[in-house]
Chains A and B, each alone.
Chain A
């Protein structure tokens, strides 16, 4: 592993528009070596445009982009040999077998992993001699990962890797990604599944409308305010609700104020926002603000 202080990925003020649509609108991103970062956001938020700019497929309209210390728009083969790329929805390579393609692609790299061990690692040993057209969706995605890691990359991009998976396949896939993390691979993952970000990422970056709307460890996302507990109770058929950082004190005060013989607070609920509530709050705010902006035009 490299010992430099420079991050694996550094993005400052990235802009990209397609015609009138601002796909990415001033996005900042930093991924340190050895980290798994999830870029989480709804469809159309600019996740894929951002990742494909980092992979060198698209040119930024404006902004500073460095991946493994180089500008992806001009970086060459040596740079590409240090990356692993798993793109969205590949339907290629129908007539070759798993073993053939993993060995073939390994040959493109200066110091590849052992292709047979990679096939084992992604759980395709029993399918090694099968043509890829006969693989299931989950198996195909595992093959994509095998091809992404066979070059022994320092940095792996996974663009919406589990879209369309059944729950079991998704959990198996997560185990695979965690085994890569344990080997020290830096991973930048995009997803619109909250669970996936929560399970895999050291840090989550929430993107909506081409901008970062929140960033943090899955447990801290949205900050303290977004994570306040809400206390709900009912008096004379009316439901009251209050957000608070100190729910225990509030409940004690309510019990004292109401002075009921049994000491109970009627209809009491203490609600803790889940990550999903926080996330929907984050992207919902942004979505409604944009809708307002559009209505104002």
Chain B
């Protein structure tokens, strides 16, 4: 090489004139793209987005407002059921959505294609995060709207309750998302993703008391559910949407905000560590 160092320097400077697009801009572009693709996938729209809203409509209609859960409290079944469905929606939009969609993207070559472009991995994951937040946000808003307008569920007015709502929503979404990314490596193919993910989610819904009153479940089932985040998200959401006297319906007799935050943060950390260590851009059989 006879090129003087200054020449090489000048050339590399010239090459860097068209700057690489920033991560923030790419994250927004990815979010818009991911949201658009999500709402075109019929399976995802039905089983992730619409499912809790449909369940709320069915259960609230069937069990209706015949009997107060606690005599004199004015709390009827739809009001007890709403927080469970909000928590379910958060888990579907984060965990189930990402576990299935990323497994499919790994299998069909989307991830490998993205890896071959200058798109930074951070922008990919921020795009997924953005899509989860948009989906879960719209879903929750619709749930609250349906509950309030169709089933006369009173929505809280105190700021403190909405603060609780915000941190449970954000922590639950974050924990569900990182666990979904980690779990996406479990299905061997894109086709097996739904059968490998959905049963886990369904069992969690049953044991975590989103369909029944949690305190009426067998004790061992309550204990199993206490290991997983859905039970804590549902309990946290009940503390938002039910009056304080309904805390007697909790097995512990209180809302347990401290343990709720601790369990969600623990799953967030575990999911993050496992997800970072196991994430693959290629299929397992691809070398």
Contact = CB atoms under 8 A, between A and B. Distances in A.
Interface of A: 2, 4-5, 18, 49, 52, 55-58, 77-78, 80-81, 83, 85, 87, 89-96, 100, 104-105, 107-111, 147, 151
Q: Please provide the 6 A-B residue pairs with the shortest distance between their CB atoms, ordered closest to farther.
A: A85-B116, A111-B18, A110-B18, A92-B110, A81-B118, A95-B40
13 contacts: A18-B287, A56-B116, A78-B15, A80-B116, A83-B116, A87-B109, A90-B113, A94-B108, A96-B33, A108-B26, A110-B20, A147-B113, A151-B117
B37 interface: yes
Given A52-B287, A104-B29, A107-B21, A78 B16 contact: yes
A95 B18 contact: no
B112 interface: yes
Given A18-B287, A57-B282, A81-B20, A108 B119 contact: yes
Interface string B272-285: 00000000011000
B19 A87 contact: no
Given A18-B287, A104-B33, A108-B117, 4 more contacts: A2-B11, A80-B117, A95-B40, A110-B20
Contacts of A18: 287
A55 B33 contact: no
A90 B109 contact: yes
B158 interface: no
Contacts of B37: 95-96
A105 B20 CA distance: 13
Nearest to A107: B29
B117 A105 contact: yes
Interface of B: 1, 3, 11, 15-16, 18-21, 26, 29, 33, 36-37, 40-41, 105, 108-110, 112-113, 115-120, 281-282, 287
Given A55-B116, A108-B21, A92 B287 contact: no
A92 B118 contact: no
Contacts of B40: 95-96
Given A77-B20, A110-B20, A151 B118 contact: yes
Contacts of A94: 108
B287 A90 contact: no
Nearest to A78: B20
Contacts of B29: 104, 107
Nearest to B287: A58
Nearest to B107: A91
A4 B108 CA distance: 38
Given A81-B20, A104-B29, A93 B110 contact: yes
B17 to A, nearest CB: 9
A242 B180 CA distance: 70
B1 to A, nearest CB: 8
A92 B102 CA distance: 12
A94 B101 CA distance: 13
B113 A89 contact: no
B118 A49 contact: no
Contacts of A80: 116-118
Nearest to A83: B116
Contact of A78 (B33, B113, B118): B118
A57 B112 contact: yes
B18 A77 contact: no
Nearest to A80: B118
A94 B19 CA distance: 31
A2 B14 CA distance: 11
Given A57-B112, A80-B117, A81-B20, A92 B26 contact: no
Contact of B36 (A56, A81, A96): A96
Contact of A87 (B11, B36, B116, B120): B116
B287 A49 contact: yes
Nearest to A77: B118
A18 B286 CA distance: 11
A109 B21 CA distance: 7
